[in-house]
Homo-oligomer: A and B are copies of this chain.
Amino acid sequence: MTLPRYAYLGPAGTFTEAALRVMAPEGTAEHLPMVDVPSALGAVRSGEADYAVVAIENSVEGGVTATLDTLAEGEPLVILGEVVLSISFELVARPGTRIEDVARVSAHSHGLNQCRRWIAENLPGALQVPASSNAAAAVALADGSAEFDAALAPPGIGESLGLEVLVSGVSDRASSMTRFVRIGRPGELPEPTGADKTTLVVHLPSDRSGALLQMLEQFSARGVNLSRIESRPRGDRPGEYSFSMDAMGHVAEARVAEALIGLKRTCPVVLFLGSYPAFHGEVTPVEPETTDESFAEATAWVAALRDGRA
């Protein structure tokens, strides 16, 4: 039996790998570590991998920008699922090290940023040494090549390398949630669950004032809410913007389909990046006037009017 192949931002031990393990546990999938997000997505486009797992929001490693930009350019890819992980680190060191001995601490620069206040309070005066990845700093400690005394590492990796965990649950925010998505090629649309997201990239018509508001009215006129919106400057057109958005609903639902029809008519570019179950699993409330039944009844009524049957 051939296992599905998953590309991800490696090496083993990253938070992305932790997300991957939630989505496709070892034994059920082949894991392919990649050096960066574009490589992971490129592997799906080329067929080298079946899926990729990458961070898309609030990342402490890899690049959200890289994810959004790489999705938006080139052969179509779609999001098939998501997980949201609470990100916290372990302070790990060689056995025998005490926390008061830590004069230099290392992690990926995103990880150092993420833990900045904790470091200031718990390791005052410690020198921060950026590493090329969150896992790499721990590896360097383990193999003796480190020029620092401790590392902030994703949970589990320190123990697996024979290091000592001095502190666990290190994070500046009580809940620093990072969102990861599973990406694949179009053709496989997850079934609607009632608790779904639809991710889109939209370019606005440039010659129209109030264009953003008019774009959002396409959603509100059908009772569709957004859970995320981000403007991104367009590299190819200075002064113009594209918008990356998550709508609460599935394209198989009439209200989302109608909103997309409205966008497609009125915006020069609309990219569909997938409809998939939301990790939180809370069913999206749907008003009586935006149910599929309501759309079907109203559509039948207008069809009757057109035939003179009303």
Contacts and interface: CB of A to CB of B under 8 A. Distances in A.
A142 interface: no
A26 interface: no
Most buried by B among A220, A222, A302: A302
Taken together, the copies of this chain in the complex come to 4
Nearest to A301: B264
A295 B217 contact: no
B63 A261 contact: no
B251 A225 contact: no
Interface stretch (A12-20, A90-98, A149-157, A171-179): A171-179
Instruction: Describe A's contact surface by its main secondary structure.
Output: mixed
A262 B262 CA distance: 12
Interface residues of A, number: 86
Contacts of A173: 235-236
Interface of A: 35-38, 57-58, 63-66, 76, 109-110, 112-113, 116, 128-133, 173-177, 179, 186-189, 209-210, 212-213, 216-223, 225-233, 235-236, 238-239, 241, 243, 251-252, 257-258, 260-262, 264-266, 272, 280, 289-290, 294-295, 297-299, 301-302, 305-310
